[in-house]
Amino acid sequence: MLTNDQIARFNRDGYLVVEDVLTDKLPALKAEYAALLDRLCAEWGIEGDSFEEKLIAAYRAGHDWHQPMDISLPGDRIHADTPFHIGPAVFDFMTAPALLDVVESLIGPELVSNPIQHVRIKPPAVDLHRDEVRAHITATDWHQDRAVGLEEADETDMITCWVAVTDATVENGCLQVQPFNGPQEILPHCPKQQTAIADAFINEEGAVPLPVKAGGMVLFHPLVPHSSLVNTTDGIRWSFDLRFNKSGQPTGRAHFPDFVARSKAAPETEMRDWRQYKTMWEDARARLAAQPHIDIHRWQSDAPYCA
């Protein structure tokens, strides 16, 4: 659980760095992802001595490992065979009591795992393809998490937990934030390289970098502006975005599945089986593949502030 001082700092600044929350979950998580990457590389004919070497080699060769490793479906067109990954270790990571204790400190004990969640594995910038724009792989533009959901969730009590799997440093592209300076509203966003705050509404002066050790995390209020730095090292930077909201409130992507991660009022409703969660995503994939595409953002490129 967070201390009163930590809660006060989060409410004042819109973010909080908390070290050593999920360190004990990292070995199983890394082993699960190593096995997944081995299967992909066997199909692609990619070799390497380590997870990092194989990942970078696969990217250089033009193979897409992001979506097969991601923990949700993409925001663009979904097909019947669009891959994703839900396994026992990643589900255990997402529902760890230590993680939920921290979130409960901020928004209470009735918690839903929000479907706007991703793995982010970022290769060295020198290896990125010229046309790489995916925020899960390249540097992330300035944005607010509230703004990347739909309007239905504008009043939802939500917390983002950005969890480091490898040490996140200024050199390898850690996050940076614009702390709250009084009341904060949703800023206009534009479909730029990614969905990002319109240029006139963000000033990078005063940005605070947020290095954090593997197993630690950064907590974000959904209205605090943040982005990531460029990975200037020769290694990867690996993290997860995990989001939670109060039960009964809209998630911002109603067409994707959510589940009860914690409930003090009705503990029998908590999801405890990773297979059930995986099946929910498989069912959503089959349903969405047969329907017209559903937009996940509200922002239009022809808005006056995007000109």
pLDDT tens digits for range 63-82: 999 999 999 999 999 999 99
- CATH superfamily membership of 4-306: q2cbj1_9rhob like domain (2.60.120.620)
Using 70 as the pLDDT threshold, list the residues of the chain that sit under it: 307
Q: Is 23 exposed, middle or buried (0-12, 13-18, 19+ CB in 10 A)?
A: middle
What is the pLDDT, as a whole number, of residue 180?
A: 93
Contact between residue 67 and residue 84 where contact means Cβ atoms under 8 Å apart: yes
Q: What is the DSSP letter of 25?
A: G
What is the pLDDT, as a whole number, of residue 222?
A: 96
What is the pLDDT, as a whole number, of residue 116?
A: 95
Q: In the chain, helix, strand, coil percent, each to 5?
A: 30, 20, 50
Contact between residue 176 and residue 228 where contact means Cβ atoms under 8 Å apart: yes
Listed in sequence order, the residues at least 6 apart from 158 whose beta carbon sits closer than 8 Å to its beta carbon are: 107, 114, 145, 146, 222, 243, 244, 245, 246, 249, 252
What is the pLDDT, as a whole number, of residue 192?
A: 77
What is the pLDDT, as a whole number, of residue 131?
A: 87
What is the pLDDT, as a whole number, of residue 205?
A: 85
Contact between residue 194 and residue 140 where contact means Cβ atoms under 8 Å apart: yes
Mean pLDDT, the chain, whole residue set? 95
Q: Taking the alpha carbons of 185, 121, 62, 60 in that order, is the dihedral positive or negative?
A: positive
Give the span between the Cα atoms of 119 and 206, in whole angstroms.
28
Whole-angstrom distance between the N-terminal and C-terminal Cα of the chain? 45
Listed in sequence order, the residues at least 6 apart from 53 whose beta carbon sits closer than 8 Å to its beta carbon are: none
pTM value is 0.95
Give the span between the Cα atoms of 226 and 208, in whole angstroms.
9
Residue in the structure block whose two tokens are 């020769």: 234
Query: Tens of pLDDT along 43-66?
Result: 999 999 999 999 999 999 999 999
